[in-house]
Structure 1
Amino acid sequence: MDEAQMQNMFSMMRVGAQTTLPVVLVLVRRDHIVQDTIAQLSKQRTSDLKKPIKVVFVGEEAVDQGGVLKEFFLLLIQEVLNPIYGMFQEFEETRSLWFSEQTFEEEGMC
């Protein structure tokens, strides 16, 4: 049933149907996971962000039964913690991370 629901959502997306989906479908490329996630979520209505998330990695056939979502969040967090984004600052004395005081948004990062 879940697979049929996913196939239905994909077919609606292909034809551009303006239907309300029961989930937020996030299509991301592994090598651009932060940029794709930001782009996908920024297009959603605020009310839709309360819906469950279904993740599809572009070019992969895995149906999200929970494992794909867990992998998505693991990869996303690992990438966001990457120092190139400058989003977090590491404190060596406590071995902890906290939000950086500097902005992390630069031209081309989104």
Structure 2
Amino acid sequence: MKQRISYTHLQKLDAQQQNKLRELWEPQEGEYMATGDHEEMIYFLNGVQKKKSLPLLSLGQMMACLSQTGDKFSVNFSENTWEVSLDGRTFLDVELCSALFEALIAKI
């Protein structure tokens, strides 16, 4: 199971969605980010250029962002597929990470 999104996930975002994702992000040491097509761990916060980087959100971070919207969401697993339901919409994927990310970008 993937623990966080990758640069490939971020390629699905348009410029407006990227900016919204940056607004939601508070960089922390030990997290991962993408700068261009390069993925790296944040070792020192003063080295993070938030305007040029995007977060590689973990499962927990995506769930926290979804819960902050105030909308109810649910996560279920059956028949080798993860199902994330939010606002009457359902996002399905074999990877929980991808299903949560699809729900998150639908919100932003």
Asked whether the two chains share a fold, i.e. TM above 0.5, the reply is no
Higher relative contact order (CA 8 A, sep 6+): 2
Q: Which has the higher strand share?
A: 2
Q: Which has the higher helix share?
A: 1
**Larger-gyration structure (1/2):** 1
TM-score normalized with structure 1 length: 0.25
TM-score normalized with structure 2 length: 0.25
